[in-house]
Structure 1
């Protein structure tokens, strides 16, 4: 098995084990010979109550255990305990604060201007440089296609807040190579980019992005932005691989990125190639690379991948996103290092072309050359029908993958029948299709319900309904008013099989209600997931108020 090198000291400070926190998660790393299962426990530093997390994954290629804690509180110290064989290690870490201390503030002029924002003055880790309109003012940067960008960030420890950015010739916001600790929040970015379209016909406007981060940029917080209506348009699959605008692109990021509470949308005739993506897919870096979170976003109108998380995927967490009108929902080819966690997402409509409503896959997998082999975890996701995905993974083989407690409602294939190494572990999933492939799903649920088993909602809530209807095939005796009649292929009501049908996953569903966790993203009796710009609280941007 090929090995890979990792500059541990650059991130760990020479410590072993070490932790890399975000707002709500912590990536844990432990360099060690293989000593069997490495159990993970954690507690708040001021609390004596230990909680169990999902055990770390051992990677023999570089002799390291890796894994994540999720569902933590921001700006909170935690004690982490590792137990592996006769070894015990403890470390203390603190999740990142959602509040960024401001040093210098640069106020932007009220009104509309064609002068781009060019930020070259850095702040520090305890005094960020804030660039924003004055209170009560509205700033619109409209370059009318005369400038490549509406904003360029060539500095570190910077906050760009509350600006409307329009009509950039290429990218809305450009983050320069190697820049770090940048917050882009509460902005509206629209009408950027070149025409796009199939590269087969000579178009060169692919990947023009609302936010584009050059190679090595990292520790980016991109939150509560409205990204809509690129000027260009991606082609669909009828004319070859889609090529066109993107919402957010990270090029071989250094990691540490948080992309949350954004809304990325357009129209079908001005759709995206990928909504969140970047490069290089088959590499030891990629987008978002490592120690990164993508959550609570609303994503629509995409012709390839709604979220393209490809490259290292080392302690990358993707959860709580609502995705609609895409071809593939989450792309993970490759996942070189892992682990990658994909959990509690909602996957709605999928289509291949404007004229062909047959959908794509929920998850794209694959690898190339040595860039393969990392662990994927896929937990508690909900795929909706009708007009949803055709396949779960489809004809691709997927090594080193664990699925639990998902609702995979689709007519097509689960995964390839080809044996792979290391093998995958599929169980406790709902699957309604015709061909499982390799998964046996000893505790899985197989049912073809007539209507999706979810309560109707206008608030993007998808709780399991108490009952579902199914067709009972054949001539079936049915009792009506005390008399028995024979009915051909009647529709009958049965208890919803996804309720209390899941497995307990330490750290991911400890707060379940009922006898066992429900399958899918929403747990009956627990608060709903929230998506989009208001998911983290009500914030009004200047461009919304005037």
Structure 2
């Protein structure tokens, strides 16, 4: 078998496609004004500029290397890395070209406010180990010549997983208000008292106090239901220690990156923090490095609020929420300020208010997201999220222009288990660069399941995600405002590969790498695939995908124009080399065709489906080799789809926690835990 082309290579377009591009280029050239005498023409060689290193996450490093020149857009960056102390270097995906004169809306709703993407090469190294030092070597290359410092050698470290210390700086105890019996000392009235240093009494919310918790303090929450009557001001001649009137726990004392302030169970039973209908339970927008772990949080609109965009004092840093059960909420974590940094949101169960027994509910309660955030350096991983409008999102209206301090970049969503959303499972909307979605499992959604409207520049990475029973089977990606650099690799879906129109970027301005995807959409009156404006570009690699044989004669669309079936598209563009048709759902170990139905329909549960490939199925050993993405494949070539035959299955959702038996019930289709 001929080995497939690596995605890092730039292939020569098909002859017909080349003529198409030449004709388009002639039209473009005729519309340009001739340079005035003495004016410096665009230069094709590249000049190395500033290298921007993004905030690391637990598993990723991100880069943006500014350049000058390279008017023809053929510069690239070779990426190699190794763990510090290792001998062998590993090859990885390159950095990708952004800029090239592309002007985009400053935000999705910022009509008329344009921002020009700077000339640079951007990209990530992913799936690294937390808290580990790496050596990275970046080499700038251009066939037209390179000047400046063309090779950069770096020593960088990923963020470490937050861990509650065995020996705290201080311990403070909080008991539920109805607790009877002895109490460990020092004891505090409630969380605000323990963290801020002063108890909220009636309408006195003193948040600045000398007795505030110091960095490294552990707040031990004792078993029971911690709830308060938010309308109770005075009782039996005494002022009440409650969150009077609004029910919000406003925290302002901060830890540090090395020593957060920890709010954790004391170990004597389940700790339930009941919001009693409060709009917002935890307001953490003015507190940095708070660590919440092992708690049950319920009955509030917003469990954790990190601030709206641009608020004075907004944008908290280092928020950790781990191993928590969060239920009956509109938002699990809402943090829309781009000054937010380094969140760790892992191993939580987050349950919204939409009905848990039907698909895509619409109505007065339909709202909210499990996670919605902006900023940089975030890791959102191994969560179970269900019954929301959207699952896990970047903030759609994050701004492109860095002068406002409201960019969203260097964000990881991985190994999340997302179920029953009314709109999208995951939105990268609003991201600027290095937005990374890896190994997420997504079941049941009536709308377009994934979204990039817009990712301002890119890259945006979608790698080894699963989408099942979504979009009526018609569409995988909502792409109305596009991404300049898109990588869509090794995904499995029960939908067709449809990515409708984007922001109209010129073909030569974009880079799309779409390979090794298993798209088993239904037979019917749907396009097999649709690529949008800008798709017919020389930098794109679209190959080695697999489609449902039942849709073999379905049309393929580019720029909304029907170019015929897959064979006709391949002949015209050279795309889809190595792509094939497979026997539908029979390629899987056990996966009956989902109903592809719309709203208020029965759900499909992950425990009833096994999307592993059958040995000998057509997608096995027929994929493209992609450096750093499918290293260690088990056969003659990588498999097409999210799950490589012979590899251990990914862990989707929480890896542990006090609630695992409850979660098992939910995953098996029981509506209550």
- TM-score higher than 0.5: yes
- In the TM superposition, residue 420 of structure 1 has moved relative to its aligned partner by 4.7
Aligned to 1:375: 485
1:175-324 → structure 2 map (5 Å cutoff): 175-176=306-307, 177-192=314-329, 208-216=330-338, 217-230=340-353, 244-250=367-373, 253-266=374-387, 272-277=388-393, 279-281=395-397, 283-284=399-400, 289-324=408-443
1:82-231 → structure 2 map (5 Å cutoff): 82-85=138-141, 87-100=150-163, 102=165, 103-115=216-228, 117-145=249-277, 147-153=278-284, 154-168=286-300, 170-176=301-307, 177-192=314-329, 208-216=330-338, 217-230=340-353
Distance change >3 Å, CA 241–CA 311, structure 1 → 2: farther
8 Å CA contact 2:619, 2:640 repeated in 1: yes
Tell me whether 1:28 sits opposite 2:63 in the alignment: yes
State the structure with more CA Rg: 2
Residue 63 of structure 1, aligned match among 101, 111, 119: 119
Residue 501 of structure 2, aligned match among 393, 396, 410: 396
8 Å CA contact 2:520, 2:547 repeated in 1: yes
Residue 449 of structure 1, aligned match among 574, 578, 583: 583
Tell me whether 1:347 sits opposite 2:444 in the alignment: no
Aligned to 1:490: none
Aligned to 2:453: 333
8 Å CA contact 2:136, 2:154 repeated in 1: yes
- In the TM superposition, residue 257 of structure 1 has moved relative to its aligned partner by 1.1
- In the TM superposition, residue 77 of structure 1 has moved relative to its aligned partner by 1.0
Name the CA distance, whole Å, in 2 between partners of 1:25 and 1:186.
22
SS of corresponding position for 1:451: helix
Name the CA distance, whole Å, in 2 between partners of 1:520 and 1:30.
31
Distance change >3 Å, CA 282–CA 213, structure 1 → 2: closer
SS of corresponding position for 2:425: strand
Distance change >3 Å, CA 450–CA 18, structure 1 → 2: closer
Name the CA distance, whole Å, in 1 between partners of 2:96 and 2:534.
21
Name the CA distance, whole Å, in 1 between partners of 2:362 and 2:272.
36
SS of corresponding position for 2:501: coil
Aligned to 1:79: 135
Distance change >3 Å, CA 218–CA 382, structure 1 → 2: same
Distance change >3 Å, CA 544–CA 395, structure 1 → 2: closer
- In the TM superposition, residue 395 of structure 1 has moved relative to its aligned partner by 3.9
Work out which structure has the larger RCO, using CA pairs closer than 8 Å and 6 or more positions apart in sequence: 2
Name the CA distance, whole Å, in 1 between partners of 2:151 and 2:327.
52
Tell me whether 1:364 sits opposite 2:478 in the alignment: yes
Measured on the aligned residues, the alpha-carbon RMSD in Å equals 3.2
- In the TM superposition, residue 75 of structure 1 has moved relative to its aligned partner by 1.3
| Residue deviations 1:268-292 (CA, integer Å, cap 9, x gap) | xxxx211112533474289992111
8 Å CA contact 2:394, 2:431 repeated in 1: no
| Residue deviations 1:278-331 (CA, integer Å, cap 9, x gap) | 533474289992111101111111111110111134111101111000122211
Distance change >3 Å, CA 542–CA 462, structure 1 → 2: closer
8 Å CA contact 1:242, 1:303 repeated in 2: no
SS of corresponding position for 1:96: coil
Aligned to 2:517: 406
Distance change >3 Å, CA 150–CA 505, structure 1 → 2: same
Name the CA distance, whole Å, in 2 between partners of 1:518 and 1:131.
44
SS of corresponding position for 2:589: coil
Name the CA distance, whole Å, in 2 between partners of 1:420 and 1:521.
24
- In the TM superposition, residue 332 of structure 1 has moved relative to its aligned partner by 0.7
SS of corresponding position for 1:349: strand
- In the TM superposition, residue 450 of structure 1 has moved relative to its aligned partner by 4.7
8 Å CA contact 2:272, 2:295 repeated in 1: yes
Name the CA distance, whole Å, in 2 between partners of 1:233 and 1:464.
29
Tell me whether 1:540 sits opposite 2:667 in the alignment: no
Q: Which TM-score applies when normalising by structure 2?
A: 0.63
SS of corresponding position for 1:275: strand
Name the CA distance, whole Å, in 1 between partners of 2:89 and 2:394.
38
Task: List alignment gaps of at least 5 residues for structure 1.
Answer: 2-13, 193-207, 267-271, 352-357, 468-495
8 Å CA contact 1:143, 1:150 repeated in 2: yes
8 Å CA contact 1:100, 1:128 repeated in 2: no
SS of corresponding position for 1:518: coil
- In the TM superposition, residue 242 of structure 1 has moved relative to its aligned partner by 10
Name the CA distance, whole Å, in 1 between partners of 2:518 and 2:128.
25
SS of corresponding position for 2:62: strand
SS of corresponding position for 1:53: strand
Distance change >3 Å, CA 366–CA 395, structure 1 → 2: closer
8 Å CA contact 2:514, 2:542 repeated in 1: yes
